[in-house]
Amino acid sequence: MKDFDDREERVGKLKGLGCARKRVEDARFTQGKGNYVDDVKLPGMLFGDFVRSPYAHARIKSIDATAALELPGVIAVLTAEDLKPLNLHWMPTLAGDKQMVLADGKVLFQGQEVAFVVAEDRYIAADAIELVEVDYEDLPVIVDPFEALTTDVVLREDLDTSEPGAHGPRKHHNHIFLWEEGDKTATEQAIESSEVVAEEMVYYHRTHPCPLETCGCVASMDKVNGKLTLWGTFQAPHVVRTVASLLSGIAEHDIRVISPDIGGGFGNKVGVYPGYVCAIVASIVTGKPVKWIEDRMDNLMATAFARDYWMKGRISATKEGKITGLHCHVTADHGAFDACADPTKFPAGFFHICTGSYDIPVAYVGVDGVYTNKAPGGVAYRCSFRVTEAAYFIERMIEVLAIELNMDAAELRRINFIRADQFPYHSALGWEYDSGDYHTAWDKALAAVDYEGLRKEQAERVEAFKRGETRTLLGIGLTHFTEIVGAGPVKNCDILGMGMFDSCEIRIHPTGSATARLGTISQGQGHATTFGQILASEIGISSDNITIEEGDTDTAPYGLGTYGSRSTPVAGAAAAMAGRKIRAKAQMIAAYLLEVHDGDLEWDIDRFVVKGAPDRFKTMTEIAYAAYNQAIPGLEPGLEAVSYYDPPNMTYPFGAYICVMEIDVDTGEHKIRQFYALDDCGTRINPMVIEGQVHGGLTEALAIAMGQEIAYDDLGNCKTGTLMDFFLPTAVETPHYTTDHTETPSPHHPIGAKGVGESPNVGGVPAFSNAVHDAFRAFGLRQSHMPHDHWRVWKIAHDLGLHG
């Protein structure tokens, strides 16, 4: 027997934790074998599409579908009146508000769903939409959230201001909630008695996740068997099943929800949209399958937007730069309905992570949610529940404070970082940061870019500019972010009452391969690759021999889905725990086979070995076979396990990003010379997948910071409803990224892993934006709102008098 000295080869074959295993799903994605919702084609299938409002705020006087119904191939036109008897003309949102499924008496944003046309094909449906005559009477439009709180114009006539909302009293008819955290009085006192105070309004503009594949579904009601099957672009298929059951009255076991391959989610596909409800109703009414797929404009104008946070900050410090307090008030523009997909108790998500990476003794945040005539949503786009806004806020406030202190911004960060010996760290706003080593990451990042050298070069550039020798400036964009992901402990976090645990079920087959199913759903993150690696290391079966399945509620265990970078922290933990159950039983089987006490065995990569007798062992393949082939006293046959994992805490990944940017003062154009991204997501499962996540997230951050926005005119017309106007970076605009890492495991996660999917967006946006600001610091710039497109950057230079 030579097997015991070929450990390296066995580890290699396992393709477990830490292996840069190639993504198994790419074989089908790159060869046209993906199976997306629009690939679902059923016999007799009909197509639904929406008549949408051209007005942002209007009363609907009448809807006449006569001409549309006369068009050959049109089957039905549904309006709110048709849904009323079913009580489906409104639906609950994930934020405790309700939302019109189809316009009920009025419309509240441009692109709102007014009627649902069902036809034999997509083109007939599109033609019929043009034939539906809607008589609108326009109403005053409110697009400014500050104006919304003072105007007499009532947006939500369905709500009674004297009644509290889902999160307490409402102070105005367009007010949704006031949500507060921290000690307001103590914070104000600390700030007032401080030597240095910096104050700024930081705006994180409205944008959109814009996944390549838009949202859509196919609903198929089988009236004979009483079964409803729903394929859709769902980031949380089980939750959709529960909601569909509650809304329709169909028993949950008679509903099957399937998320097939998803072409990018980015939070856009968490919420429940009117299209799903209408497709289900239409299928029930017609007895035929009904497909609904958005076009690009529908997607940009009507589905979950992101951000739109006006963050008024005050930060104080000693003369030496030690931060003494942080105060933040947010005016949060939620659009027409509060349809944020936050955990129930957190109407502003985890925004109160806004003390960031810093040891701030006292802090307060208050968030006012406000209705306006814009599309609903808010929590989307690699955001970890508003952590993007929080990180942008604190990283801008740090820069502004550095200006106020006339201090280097890297040094200011360093002297305020939470120290490694302070973890687990209790933040002033109530979080318990699990682990971190910020100083090590920061020093590594600064050294990697030669920070001192860059500052020298920048100072020389400023002098050269002043002498008229150059027209480009150099910006050094610094960011140290702290993320909070892995929602979450069930006691704190739920979605519509469903606790946010997650799950994994494993079946080991007799020949030593396995199938594992999880409650999450990949949208491009590579779960089929990486969850197999977690299991491989736990159960000693090569990840090549483990099939990972997600997204079918008939087969996968109940889970809360994929968003908030929670899959690794929660379902990844469930996978490890289920794996450990398998291994525990495998140990009993091995003990029986080897005729030793189970305590005399030790685990070694892919087998149990008798302690002190390395040539006596049973591999997992042998054990798997025995589980089905032998009658083992005291043990049930088979080798299966399931784990429902309730995490004890969230995980707190972090990172240090540095962006070096050249800015042409005369054109406002920028060039990114260098982008260095150090991420710490604890134990790394697949370095290649992590790097892919970081590249993608940074590119989305680049988009947001440098050009992308969902903009409205005063009449509430969405000005950026096409990809001509909505900036999506291509290879041309995307710079080279240098990635790096440190590895600080999470102490409470079974394998020490933290999430990473959203980190690059959380940290990327402030890095790009700070670079722009930093380039102009020497000329007096303090704050300027994103996106930093060429025109706005040119305008900064102009306003600073740099155009002579």
Q: Which residues are catalytic?
A: 235, 382-383, 758
Q: What sign does the CA torsion over 531, 379, 265, 524 have?
A: negative
CB-based burial, 517-530: b 16+ in 10 Å, e otherwise: bbbbbbbbbbbbbb
Does 618 help bind ligand CUM (rule: CB under 6 A)?
no
- Is 746 a residue that touches ligand MCN (CB under 6 A)? no
**Residue 514: beta bridge partners?**
508, 546
Please identify, among the stretches 362-370, 576-584, 689-697, 710-718, the one whose residues bind ligand MCN according to the rule CB under 6 A. Answer: 689-697
What span, in angstroms and rounded, lies between the C-alpha atoms of 538 and 100?
A: 47
Number of residues forming the site for ligand CUM (CB under 6 A): 12
Of 756, 765, 767, 793, the one binding ligand MCN (CB under 6 A) is 756
**E strand spans, 11-153:** 46-52, 58-64, 74-78, 90-92, 98-100, 106-107, 113-119, 133-138
- Closer by beta carbon to ligand MCN, 263 or else 510: 263
What's the rounded Cα separation, in Å, for the pair 707 and 709? 7
Residue 525: name its binding partner from ligand CUM, ligand MCN, none (Cβ under 5 to 8 Å by kind).
ligand MCN
Widest distance between CA atoms in the chain: 90
We find the least distance from the C-beta atom of residue 11 to ligand MCN, in angstroms, to be 17
β 546-550/514-518 pair status: parallel
CB of 342 vs ligand CUM, minimal distance in Å: 9
Nearer to ligand MCN, 235 or 427 (CB): 235
383 interacts with ligand CUM by CB under 6 A: yes
Q: Return the number of the residue (110 or 744) whose C-beta is nearest ligand MCN.
A: 744
Cα 396 from Cα 478, distance rounded (Å): 10
CB of 762 closer than 8 Å to CB of 388? yes
User: Least distance (Å) from ligand MCN to the CB of residue 679?
Assistant: 9
Cβ closest to ligand MCN, residue 266 vs residue 292: 266
Question: Smaller CB distance to ligand MCN: residue 520 or 770?
Answer: 520
Phi, psi (rounded to 5 degrees) for 327: -125, 135
Closest CA to 72 of 119, 131, 116, 130: 119
Closest separation in Å from C-beta 208 to ligand CUM: 11
Give the residue with the Cβ less far from ligand CUM, 16 or 564.
Answer: 564
* Interacting residues with ligand MCN between 355 and 384 (CB under 6 A): 382
User: C-beta of 572: minimal distance to ligand CUM in Å?
Assistant: 16
Q: Which two tokens stand for residue 96?
A: 């405790």
User: CA 695 to CA 764: how far, in whole Å?
Assistant: 10
Q: What would you report as the CA-atom Rg of the chain, rounded to the nearest whole angstrom?
A: 28
Residue 495: name the closest of 288, 761, 243, 219 by CA.
243
Residues 6+ positions from 444 with CB-CB distance below 8 Å = 656, 678, 740, 742
**Residue with smaller CB distance to ligand CUM, 316 or 708:** 708
Out of 112, 472, 562, 720, the residue judged to bind ligand MCN by CB under 6 A: 562
Chosen from ligand CUM, ligand MCN, none, partner binding at 264 (C-beta under 5 to 8 Å by type):
ligand MCN
Using CB under 6 A, which of 203, 266, 337, 712 touches ligand CUM? 266
Site string for ligand MCN, 245-274 (x = CB under 6 A): -------------------xxxx-------
356, 417 Cβ separation under 8 angstroms:
no
State the amino acid at position 324 in one-letter form: T
Tokens of 432: 């318990």
Q: The tokens 């990569």 sit on which residue?
A: 605
If one asks whether residue 347 binds ligand CUM (CB under 6 A), the answer comes out as no
The one among 392, 425, 563, 652 contacting ligand MCN by CB under 6 A: 563
Q: Is the dihedral of CA 401, 404, 405, 411 positive or negative?
A: positive
Minimum CB–partner distance for residue 679 and ligand CUM (Å): 17
Q: x/- string (CB under 6 A) for ligand CUM, residues 216-235?
A: -------------------x
The span of 132-140, 266-274, 549-557, 782-790 binding ligand CUM (CB under 6 A) equals: 266-274
Tell me if 519 contacts ligand CUM by CB under 6 A.
no
Least separation, in Å, of the C-beta of 288 and ligand MCN?
31
Find out whether 609 and 616 touch, Cβ atoms under 8 Å. yes
Q: State which of residues 165, 182, 260, 267 lies at the interface with ligand CUM (CB under 6 A).
A: 267
Q: Among residues 280 and 685, whose Cβ is nearest to ligand MCN?
A: 685
Nearer to ligand CUM, 385 or 794 (CB): 385
* 210 binds ligand MCN per the rule CB under 6 A: no
Residue 110 contacts ligand MCN per CB under 6 A:
no
As measured in angstroms, the least distance from the Cβ of 78 to ligand CUM is 30
Contact flags string 665-684 toward ligand MCN, x per CB under 6 A: ----------------xxxx
At closest approach, how far in Å is the CB of 294 from ligand MCN? Answer: 16
Residue 379, contacted partner among ligand CUM, ligand MCN, none, CB below 5-8 A by kind: ligand CUM
Least spacing, CB of residue 416 vs ligand MCN, in Å: 26
| Nearest to ligand CUM of 383, 418 (CB atom) | 383
From the CB of 646, what's the least distance to ligand MCN, in Å?
17
Task: Quote the CA–CA distance of 629 and 510 in Å, as a whole number.
Answer: 8
Query: What is the C-alpha separation between 532 and 544, in angstroms, rounded?
Result: 8
Q: Which is nearer to ligand MCN, 15 or 566 (CB)?
A: 566
Cα distance between residue 82 and residue 332, in whole Å: 34
- The backbone region for 496, taken as left when phi is positive above 0, alpha when psi lies in -120 to 50, beta otherwise, is left
Dihedral (Cα; 89, 95, 97, 100), 10-degree rounding: -30
Site for ligand MCN in 521-550 (CB under 6 A): 523-527, 530
Contact criterion met (CB below 8 Å) for 281 and 78: yes
Q: Which of 104, 122, 101, 103 minimizes the C-alpha distance to 49?
A: 122
Q: Give 3-state DSSP helix, strand, coil % of the chain, rounded to 5.
A: 30, 25, 40
- Cα distance between residue 341 and residue 360, in whole Å: 29
State how far the Cα of 172 lies from the Cα of 148, in Å rounded to an integer: 9
The identity of residue 471, as a single letter, is: R
What is the per-residue binding string for ligand CUM in 558-587, x denoting contact by CB under 6 A? -----xx-----------------------
The contact set with ligand CUM (CB under 6 A) reads 235, 265-267, 270, 379-383, 563-564
The contact set with ligand MCN (CB under 6 A) reads 211, 264-267, 382, 523-527, 530, 562-568, 681-686, 689-690, 693, 696, 753-758
